[in-house]
Amino acid sequence: MYRYDEFDETFVRNRVAQFRAQVERRIDGGLTEDEFKPLRLMNGLYLQLHAYMLRVAIPYGTLDSRKMRQLAMIAERWDKGYGHFTTRQNIQFNWPRLRDVPDMLDALADVGMHAIQTSGNCVRNVTADHFAGAAADEIADPRPVAELLRQWSTDHPEFQFLPRKFKIAITGSPNDRAVTRAHDIGLRMVERDGAPGFEVVAGGGLGRTPVLGQVIRDFLPRADLLPYVEAILSVYNELGRRDNKYKARIKITVQETGLEAFRALVEARFAELRGEWEGADQAWLARIEADFAPPSLRRGSTAPYEDARAGDPVFRAWSDTNLTAHRDPDHAIVTISLKAHGETPGDATTEQMRVMADLAEAYGHDELRISHEQNVILPHVHKADLPRVHAVLKSAGLATANVGLISDIIACPGMDYCALATARSIPVAQAIAARFDELKLEHDIGPIKLKISGCINACGHHHVGHIGILGLDRAGVENYQITLGGDGTETAAIGTRAGKGFAYDEIVDAIERLIHAYLAHRDSAEETFIDTYRRLGPAPFKAALYPEEADRHAA
Amino acid sequence: MSRQFTPKVVTANALLEGDVVYLTADDRWSRHHHEAELLEDEAHAEIRLLHAQGQPDRVVGAYLAEARAGAAGPEPVHFREAFRTRGPSNYPHGKQEEGAASRRP
């Protein structure tokens, strides 16, 4: 993992000291709220529905045990004993007091973390494949490049006042687990004639106007990355709409300009910039890469794993859903579900954070990842250790065997916390997970992505859910629209609205009808929900959602 | 013809804690919605809002929220405002926690 050098340490400490003084001036009246607000947002501090909220970046989702324990300490000392992991690999503390925030930021700086650029119209936390460095299908670990981008974008003087926020995601695998096509810039590591480079996708985004990013450069040599990304930002910074917040994201700029014209502008700017980059960035990247050297994996029998699978059906069920193939066949990637049925998606208590830190230290080469799907990953666990890991997780309420299933729901905080939300998300997620647990159906249903957003800003990625739920305020009442057929992977698609929305007390039943329609129409137990939807189209699903309309047509 | 004014309360978040607060008729900031001053006249409501906005050392983001008269005092109309009187629905945190604490013997 990247270790802060003296420059990083000094920068982050100075920033905390600066913010501490800004908080003091706000409290003693030296700064108005209008003056203070952009300053607090630059440091990740929001004012939400019931309290302040501090959003802390977890760059490319990577933590070690020391950082995780510090997050637990912060949650315990200054918050209410838990943290919320978000869909952009951040953690949010929901109850800080204004005076405590500088101390919280100092505590983060103690372990090489910060909340800088987790809000505001700047380049946000760079996200990456949560299985980076471990996945069997990976070309290369994307995290050194993600770290390079983090350093380049942090306090970049040209890009502190962009037309709107800017999100970059990167994957080193052809199987896209980082939702790259829903980002302002998506980077996919590829090779051409043996040389490493990137496919660059630009202009993606969810929100009010969902757009899938388009390929702006099909092969960018690795050494050209920063000048090319800088060229994209530079063109966007000049052309992006500052007159209308809803047209300010790069997805609109690309559409308004046209991809070809936008590309030509980027290439022209790139030609200007390229010569200024003389290789210091590549030398620095080599230094960063040394920090991401793969762990030395131990050899040894995996018999305890096979024995536990044969003898313990609970372990077997968990290992069926929560393990992913590691590049080393004797190891596994463990996904720890933060989606216990009926609990809040993405929340972990201080005790749970400490248990995960202990497990990472004892069995996982001291590595942890946060996924955009709001789970925690132990990326390198020897299979022989899995029964022990499972037993410890079980005792901490962390062994839910549901990863990739219908109860593994992404949900934004919604109107339980968020000042922008138009409806609640969390209780809907809790009720859907509890319903399918009661029905004992979720393993039969199989792989499915259900994603819930509590407003059109789409933090819950509902547009790319196989089933998406969007909570709205319709004439003063919570109302939930369903979208179908979305996909956030390499076969990305934006879901289509199924029809009129459902009331808060109707939405769980509607989802159950939808799932029964899938079970009735799939051609075998192997055909997943999304495959069935793609084969049949929306008609049978709409009929299940709106039986009264089907009856009317039949009459 | 102007539309009839729907009653309002002045609400904001406390500067230091971030708590939801309501402006009372005797110029206090209360944590309880039912203690808020119910503003039934538009011109008076605007003045009370200005009065709230003039207290940046105490509150942030003051605005007028719809309310109606109830048995114990003003009640929220919109569900968002109802949530703001309580706290989140997934944990007993926020005002509902304080309420529970104050009910303890």
Q: What is the pLDDT of residue B99?
A: 63
* Bridge partners, residue A198, by sequence: A189, A220
Q: Indicate the residue type of A523.
A: D
Chain B residues whose CB is inside 8 A of the A50 CB are 18-20, 84, 87-88, 93-95
Cα–Cα separations (whole angstroms), residue A391 to A300, A385, A398, A471: 20, 10, 10, 37
Helix orientation angle between A426-439 and A507-521, rounded to the nearest 10 degrees: 40
Q: How crowded is residue A293: how many other Cβ atoms within 10 Å of its Cβ?
A: 9
Is the pLDDT assigned to residue A552 strictly greater than 80? no
Q: What is the pLDDT of residue B100?
A: 52
User: β-strands B29-30, B20-23: how paired?
Assistant: antiparallel
Fold of the CATH domain A310-395: Sulfite Reductase Hemoprotein; domain 2 (3.90.480)
Q: Confidence class of residue A312 from pLDDT cuts 50, 70 and 90? A: very high
Chain B residues whose CB is inside 8 A of the A47 CB are 13, 18, 60-61
Is the pLDDT assigned to residue B104 strictly greater than 90? no
Mean pLDDT over the full length of chain B: 92
**From the candidates B15, B83, B90, which should be mutated to test the interface with A, based on the most A CB atoms within 10 A?**
B90
Interface check B42 vs A, CB under 8 A: no
Question: DSSP 3-state assignment of A494?
Answer: coil
Interface check B20 vs A, CB under 8 A: yes
**From the candidates B21, B53, B79, which should be mutated to test the interface with A, based on the most A CB atoms within 10 A?**
B79
Residues 6+ positions from A167 with CB-CB distance below 8 Å: A88, A123, A124, A127, A183, A184, A185, A205
Is the pLDDT assigned to residue A135 strictly greater than 70? yes
The kind and range of the H/E element at A360 are: helix A350-363
Q: What is the pLDDT of residue B1?
A: 47
- Residue A278: burial class (beta carbons within 10 Å; 0-12, 13-18, 19+): exposed
Contact yes or no for A426 and B95 at CB 8 A:
no
Contact yes or no for B79 and A29 at CB 8 A:
no
**Tens digits of residue pLDDT in A367-409:** 999 999 999 999 999 999 999 999 999 999 999 999 999 999 9
**Tens digits of residue pLDDT in A291-311:** 999 999 999 999 999 999 999
**Tens digits of residue pLDDT in A73-84:** 999 999 999 999
Question: DSSP 3-state assignment of A205?
Answer: strand
Examine domains A6-109 and A310-395 and report if their fold is the same.
yes
According to CATH, the superfamily of the domain at A142-290 is: Sulfite Reductase Hemoprotein, domain 1 (3.30.413.10)
User: Where do the structural domains in chain B lie, given as residue ranges?
Assistant: 8-103
What's the CATH code, domain A6-109?
A: 3.90.480.20
- Tokens at residue A70, please? 């510090």
Distance of CA A137 to the CA centre of its chain: 20
Q: What is the pLDDT of residue B9?
A: 98
Q: What is the pLDDT of residue A551?
A: 72
The residue of chain A nearest to residue B59, with distances taken between CA atoms, is A33
In 3D space, the residue among A76, A108, A110 whose CA is nearest the CA of residue A95 turns out to be A76
Of A32, A98, A416, the CB nearest to B89: A416
The residue of chain B nearest to residue A417, with distances taken between CA atoms, is B88
Q: Confidence class of residue A554 from pLDDT cuts 50, 70 and 90? A: low
In 3D space, the residue among A454, A100, A434, A435 whose CA is nearest the CA of residue B83 turns out to be A454
Contact yes or no for B15 and A27 at CB 8 A:
yes
Minimum mean pLDDT range among A237-241, A265-269, A542-546, A548-552: A548-552
Interface check A25 vs B, CB under 8 A: no
Q: What is the pLDDT of residue B102?
A: 44
The residue of chain A nearest to residue B17, with distances taken between CA atoms, is A97
User: β-strands A477-484, A467-474: how paired?
Assistant: antiparallel
Residues 6+ positions from A14 with CB-CB distance below 8 Å: none
- The DSSP secondary structure of A27-79, one letter per residue, reads HTTSS-HHHHHHHHHHTTEEE-SSSEEEEEE-GGGEE-HHHHHHHHHHHHHHS
Residue pair A20/A102 in contact (Cβ under 8 Å)? The answer is yes
User: Where do the structural domains in chain A lie, given as residue ranges?
Assistant: 6-109, 142-290, 310-395, 410-554
Contact yes or no for A95 and B20 at CB 8 A:
no
- Tokens at residue A166, please? 């800017």
Residues 6+ positions from A361 with CB-CB distance below 8 Å: A65
How far is it, in rounded angstroms, from Cα A292 to Cα A380?
A: 14
Question: What's the helix, strand, coil split of chain B in %, to 5?
Answer: 30, 25, 45
Distance of CA B22 to the CA centre of its chain: 3
Contact yes or no for A49 and B19 at CB 8 A:
no
**Tens digits of residue pLDDT in A323-346:** 999 999 999 999 999 999 999 999
Contact yes or no for A415 and B18 at CB 8 A:
no
Q: What is the pLDDT of residue A259?
A: 98
Interface check B12 vs A, CB under 8 A: no
Contact yes or no for B83 and A97 at CB 8 A:
no
**Tens digits of residue pLDDT in B7-29:** 999 999 999 999 999 999 999 99
**Tens digits of residue pLDDT in A484-537:** 999 999 999 999 999 999 999 999 999 999 999 999 999 999 999 999 999 999
Instruction: Return the residue matching tokens 């637990």.
Output: A72
**Across the A/B interface, how many CB contacts are shorter than 8 Å?**
73
Mean pLDDT over the full length of chain A: 97
How far is it, in rounded angstroms, from Cα A480 to Cα A488?
A: 21
The residue of chain B nearest to residue A46, with distances taken between CA atoms, is B18
**How close does chain B come to A504, measured CA to CA in Å?**
12
How far is it, in rounded angstroms, from Cα A409 to Cα A337?
A: 10
Interface check A143 vs B, CB under 8 A: no
A551 vs A185: which has the higher pLDDT: A185
Is the pLDDT assigned to residue B78 strictly greater than 60? yes
**How close does chain B come to A450, measured CA to CA in Å?**
19
User: Of chain A residues 82-121, which have a CB less than 8 A from chain B?
Assistant: 94-99
Q: What is the pLDDT of residue B2?
A: 58
Contact yes or no for A97 and B88 at CB 8 A:
no
The residue of chain B nearest to residue A26, with distances taken between CA atoms, is B57
Q: What is the pLDDT of residue A308?
A: 98
**From the candidates A41, A49, A347, which should be mutated to test the interface with B, based on the most B CB atoms within 10 A?**
A49
How far is it, in rounded angstroms, from Cα B65 to Cα A536?
A: 47
Question: DSSP 3-state assignment of B89?
Answer: coil
Interface check B78 vs A, CB under 8 A: yes
**Tens digits of residue pLDDT in A101-128:** 999 999 999 999 999 999 999 999 999 9
In 3D space, the residue among A57, A13, A64, A21 whose CA is nearest the CA of residue A40 turns out to be A21
In 3D space, the residue among A429, A336, A372 whose CA is nearest the CA of residue A179 turns out to be A372
Cα–Cα separations (whole angstroms), residue A180 to A95, A170, A175, A358, A372: 31, 6, 11, 32, 12
Fold of the CATH domain A410-554: Sulfite Reductase Hemoprotein; domain 1 (3.30.413)
Chain A residues whose CB is inside 8 A of the B77 CB are 476
